[in-house]
Structure 1
Amino acid sequence: MSTLQDTVLSINGRDYRFPAEPVVVICLDGSEPAYIEEAAKAGYAPHLAKLLRTGTSRIAQCVIPSFTNPNNLSIVTGRPPKVHGIAGNYFYDRASGEEVMMNDARFLRAPTIFATFHDAGAKVAVVTAKDKLRTLLGKGLDFTSGRAIAFSAEKANEATRAQNGLGDVLAYVGKPLPDVYSADLSEFVFAAGVKLLDTFRPDLMYLSTTDYVQHKAAPGSPKANEFYAMFDRYVGALDAAGCVLAITADHGMNGKHRADGAPDVLYLQDLFDEWTGKGRSRVILPITDPYVAHHGALGSFATVYLPEGLAAAEAAALLERLRQTEGIQLALTSAEACERFELPPDRIGDVVVVGTRAKVFGTSAARHDLSGLTEPLRSHGGLTEENVPLIVNRKTDWPADRALRNFDIFDVALNHVSQSAAA
C-alpha cells in the first residue's frame, strides 16, 4: 500500500478519497440480483449470505443499454456513457460509413479511475474475463512503472510485463488457460484477484467476469448455484485477506424465449426493409461482439439509422408504427433517448428501440447464427435488466433514500465506508 491516504482525487467531476486499505471492486457480468439471493438462501453461498446480513446490500440501476461495455466503462469512470462515450459493444461510425466494434481505447473519452489513481502514485490491478474490455480498462496505465497490471483471462497466456505489467500469468495464477465459453473464464479472474491481493497488494483492483453461465442458467438452477458456490469461495478469500470488497453487475438477465423454448425475436432490419425499402435503413445491435455463441447477438436494445433526407413526418410515422408493434416497450428519437439514458448523440442512431421483458431484437433472420443456443435464450439490453446488486463487505453511510447506480460503486467503496471501520 502507498502512503497517500490524505489524497483526494477529482475524476470526471467526482471526488474520490485515497483508500486506507485495498479496495476490490467486482463486476459480476449478467448477475441479476436473484442469482445471489437464491444461492445464499439455498446454502450455496455462505460468505455472500454473511455480507448480505452484516455488510451493505442494495439494489442499484445499471446504464441503458444494459450491455457489458457501456456499464463496465461507466463503473470505471464513475459517469454515464454521454461522458465516457461507450454506448454499446458495437456502433455505426457515420464519418467512416463502417460498423465498428467499440473495444479500442481510442473510443474512450474520459479517464478511468484507475489511470488517475495510478498517475497519483497508486498501485492498480485490472483483470477481465474477455480481452475485449482489457484495452479499454487499461487505457492510461504505465505497465513499466511496477504499479500497474492489466490482463484478461482469455489471453492470459499472451500477457507480458511490457504490455500487461505481468508475464507468465498462467504460472502466477496456477491455473490453465480457460475456455472462453466456460465458467472457468470467470474463475480464473477470481483466482487471479486473490493472488494479486496477496502478492501485489494493489490500492485499487477491478475484477470483471463473463456472463456465460447467466446466459444459460436461471437464478436458483443447479448450474447457477454451482457457479455462485464457486464465486462464494473466492469472496470468502478476498474478504479474509483484508480489503474493502464491493460487488455489483453490469446488467441483469432475463429469459427471452417463447413457451416452446425458441428465441422470441423481432427482426428489425427485415421490418425496416419492408417499411422504408430494402437497405435504406440500417439497424445496429449494440450487443454485438466476437462472443455470440451464448446470445446469438440478440438483445433487447437496438438503434436504427433512417434513410438520408427522410421527412420529419415520415420519421414520426415510423416511430408511431414501432410503438404499436408487439414486443416494443419504447421507441424514442435519438434526442429523447440521449436525454433519458445519458447517451452520446454521435454514437446513437436516429431511433432507439427497447424491447419488453421477453423480446429480443435481431437484424435479418438470415444474418443470425443461433446454432450455439443450446438452451432457451437468456439475454439483456433493456429496462427489464436494469436492476443489479450492489454489495459491500462493510457498513456504509450512503443514505437509504438516495438512489444508487452501479457506477456509484467506487464512490461508495472509497468515500462511504468509514475509515475507522476499514482500519
Structure 2
Amino acid sequence: MMNRVMILVIDGCAPEYITPEFAPNIHRLAEQFGFSKTVKAVVPTVTNVNHASILSGKFPSETGMAGNYYYNPVTGEEGFIEEKGFMKAKTLLQACRKRGLKTAFLTVKGKLLGVYGHAADTGISVQTPDAPLLQKLGIPAPPGVSSLESSRWIVEAALAVIKKEDPALVYCTTNDFGFHHFGPEAPEAQLQIRQIDEAVAAIHEADPERQIYITADHGMNQKHHLLDFQQLADEAGLHIYCLAPLKDRYKENHVYQEGGILYLFLKKPEENEALQELIHSRPEIEAVMTNKEAAERMHLPLQGIGDYVIFTAPDCAFGELGGTTALVTDASRTHGSLYEQEVPLLAIHPAAPAEAYQYSKDIAAVLFKLLV
C-alpha cells in the first residue's frame, strides 16, 4: 500500500541550483531518511512532456505528450496544450482517486492544472486562483505568476493543504521564471532555493512520515547562439513547418520561444535532400533524426513529431527571431535540448532504494506498483 506522498517538481531546477549550501534542510533530510542523486528527464526537456512522465511513470511514447504546443499537418490546426484530452496514460492522481485516496494538485502555471489536475480533489493555481478555496484553507492571495515569490507561495500552500486536508498524494510544481533569468550563482536563484528548502523542512516537520520526492521537469542552461530555422528554410524556398515543443504562453521566460529541439514537418517530399543539406550546413544543429529514429531512441510518440527531429549544440537554441535567421545574445537561459536532461532527485522516506530511480518518471513507476 502506498504511504502518504508529496512530489515536488521545481521547474527548471538543474542540479547546480539545489546544493547543500542553499538547500541544507532538504539535503540533511535526504541523507538521514533517503538519498540524493542525479537522474534523467525525458526528451524533449520541456514542461508538459516531463510532467506527463512524472505523473504516470511512462515515457512520452506512452503518454502521447510530445510538447507544450501541437500541430496537425492534415488540418493545419495548431495551438497550446492547456486542457485535458492530450494525455494518454493514467496518472497517479487518477489511480489514487479510483482507490478512494484524497489528492491535491498545486501549480504556479495554470495550464498544468488544466492538462493534469482535473483528477485531483484539491486544485490550486497561482495563475487562476480559487479565492473561496484559498480562504477556506487559510492561504493568502498569490503573487504574480512571473515573480520570484510565486514558487515559495505554492510550496507554502502545499504545507497548508497537508495540514488541513491530509491528502494521500500531493503533487506540487513551481515556476522556472527565476531560473530562466538567473544562474545558480545569482543571489535571486539562491534565495528561491532557500525559501523552498525552508518550506520542505516545515512540511516534513508537520508530517514526518510522508514520503517526499524533490525533482525537476528539466534543467536550464545559458544559450548564446539562437537560430530561426523556419526563417532559414523559408529563405531557402523550402516548404516545411517547424514546431517548437517548448513553445508556450509564458514568453517572459523565453522571449524568442527559444529551445533546443524542433519537429520538422516536410510538406513536399521532393525537397527532402535540400532540407538535409540545409540542416547539415548549420553548426548550431548537432543532431538530426527521422521520426522513427527519434521514436526509438528518445521514446517519443510517432504522431506529432513531424518527419525529422533536430537538436541544437550545447550553447545554441532554436527561436522565433522575427525576420532574422541568427542572433547572438547574453540574455537567453533556456531548455529543451539533450543538455537539460540532467535533473536532481532528493528523496525522503522513498518507497524504493536509490538504484530504482534512473529517470524522474521512476518516482511514479515505483508508486504505481504499491497501488496495485
Letter in structure 2 aligned against 1:358? D
Is 1:406 matched up with 2:360? yes
Residue 262 (structure 2) aligned to one of 285, 299, 302: 302
Q: Which residue number in structure 2 is paired with residue 293 of structure 1?
A: 252
Partner AA of 1:152 in structure 2: S
Partner of 1:138, secondary structure, is helix
Q: Deviations over 1:293-337 (max 9, x none)?
A: 1211111111111123x13xx424523541341111211111111
1:17-28 alignment, distance < 5 Å: 18-20=1-3, 22-28=4-10
CA separation of 1:48 and 1:327: change in aligned 2, threshold 3 A: same
Tell me whether 1:132 sits opposite 2:115 in the alignment. Answer: no
Where do 1:178-327 residues align within 5 Å?
A: 178-241=143-206, 242=208, 243-257=210-224, 264-277=225-238, 280-296=239-255, 297-308=257-268, 310-311=269-270, 314-327=271-284
Measured after TM superposition, the shift of residue 174 of structure 1 is 2.9
User: Cα distance, 1:397 vs. partner?
Assistant: 4.0
Aligned length: 364
**Over aligned residue pairs, what C-alpha RMSD do you find?**
2.3
Task: Say which is worse superposed, 268-277 or 129-138, in terms of deviation.
Answer: 268-277
In the TM superposition, residue 229 of structure 1 has moved relative to its aligned partner by 0.8
Report if the CA contact (8 A) 1:190-1:207 is conserved. yes
Q: Residue 171 of structure 1: CA displacement? A: 6.1
Letter in 2 for 1:199: K
* Pair 351,170 (structure 1): closer, same or farther in 2 beyond 3 Å: farther
Structure 1 residue 93 displacement after superposition: 1.6
1:152 aligns with 2:107: no
DSSP-derived class of the 1:106 partner: coil
Q: CA deviation at 1:119?
A: 1.4
Paired residues of 1:253 and 1:379 also in contact (CA < 8 A): yes
* Alpha-carbon distance in structure 1 between the residues aligned to 2:161 and 2:212: 14
**C-alpha contact (below 8 Å) 2:126/2:154 kept by paired residues:** yes
Displacement, 1:176? 2.4
Q: Spell out the pairing of 1:6-85 with structure 2 (5 A cutoff).
A: 18-20=1-3, 22-37=4-19, 40-41=20-21, 44-54=22-32, 55-85=34-64
Go from structure 1 to structure 2 and tell me whether the alpha carbon gap of 1:52 and 1:236 turns closer, same or farther (over 3 Å shift). same
Give CA-to-partner distance per residue, 1:330-350, whole Å, 9 cap, x none.
111111111111112221111
What SS does the aligned partner of 2:17 have?
A: helix
Instruction: Give the C-alpha shift of residue 410 in structure 1.
Output: 2.6
- Change in Cα spacing, 1:415 to 1:46, as seen in structure 2 (3 Å) is farther
| Deviation readout 1:166-201 (Å, 9 max, x if unpaired) | x33156343223111102221221011000111100
Task: Find the partner of 2:67 among 81, 88, 91.
Answer: 88
* Native 8 Å contact 2:260 2:316 kept in 1: yes
Secondary structure of 2:48's match? helix
Q: How far, CA to CA, are the matches of 2:100 and 2:277 in structure 1?
A: 54
Letter in 2 for 1:254: N
CA distance in 2, matches of 1:269, 1:134: 31
Letter of the 1:73 partner, please give it. A
Which range is displaced more, 167-176 or 237-246? 167-176
Deviating more after overlay: 104-113 vs 122-131: 104-113
Identity %: 30
State the 1:266 CA deviation: 0.6
Q: Secondary structure at the match of 2:242?
A: strand
What is the match of residue 10 of structure 1? none
Q: Could you tell me the TM-score, scaled by structure 2's length?
A: 0.91
TM normalised by structure 1 equals 0.81
Change over 3 Å in CA distance of 1:387–1:173 after alignment to 2: farther
Unaligned 5+ segments in structure 1 are 1-17, 142-147, 160-166, 258-263, 417-423
